[in-house]
């Protein structure tokens, strides 16, 4: 459900995910699925943000970390991944420690966070 606010931004239904001490919001209409404890294949020379590939039934899906330091931080705390369609129309997995709740968030906040997973070169 989307509602127009006084400032011209609309509220968008999202899920809230936790990564480290930060929270991120992903619009429900971008989510393709959720994977618990995804087993990822490491890619030796991949950019730091790409943690690995998930080789599921849907084909290979690159998974990223939204935390600074990517590969170096938080690997033990990744419990799930949220698979989305990014702005380039490609499937992308986002690793997180937890999926918290469904919330309505201003599109203004989403615009700021969308740059984190908009497109990834791999």
Strands 59-65 and 91-96, by their bridges, are: parallel
Q: Which residues does 44 contact at the CB level (< 8 Å), separation at least 6? A: none
What pLDDT, on the 0 to 100 scale, is given for residue 70?
53
Residue 58 pLDDT: 79
pLDDT along the chain (122 residues), means of 10: 55 87 87 92 87 89 76 63 87 91 86 64 32
Residue 118's pLDDT is: 61
Q: What is the distance between the alpha carbons of residues 52 and 22, in angstroms, rounded to a whole number?
A: 21
Count CB atoms within 10 A of the CB of residue 116.
12
Domains and CATH numbers, the chain: 3-114 (2.40.50.180)
In this prediction, residue 55 carries a pLDDT of 93
Cα distances from 92 to residues 1, 2, 74, in angstroms, run 24, 24, 19
At 17-39, the pLDDT tens digits run 987 778 889 999 899 999 999 99
Whole-angstrom distance between the N-terminal and C-terminal Cα of the chain? 34
């Amino acid at each position: 459900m989307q509602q127009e606010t006084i400032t011209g931004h609309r509220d968008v239904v999202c899920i809230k995910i936790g990564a480290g001490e930060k929270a991120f919001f992903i619009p429900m209409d971008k989510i393709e699925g959720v994977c618990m404890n995804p087993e990822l294949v490491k890619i030796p020379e991949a950019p730091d943000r790409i943690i690995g590939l998930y080789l599921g039934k849907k084909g290979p899906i690159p998974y990223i970390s939204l935390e600074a330091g990517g590969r170096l931080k938080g690997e033990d705390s990744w419990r799930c991944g949220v698979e989305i369609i990014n702005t380039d129309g490609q499937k992308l997995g986002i690793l997180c420690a937890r999926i918290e709740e469904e919330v309505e968030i201003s599109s203004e906040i989403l615009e700021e966070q969308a740059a984190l997973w908009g497109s990834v070169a791999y």
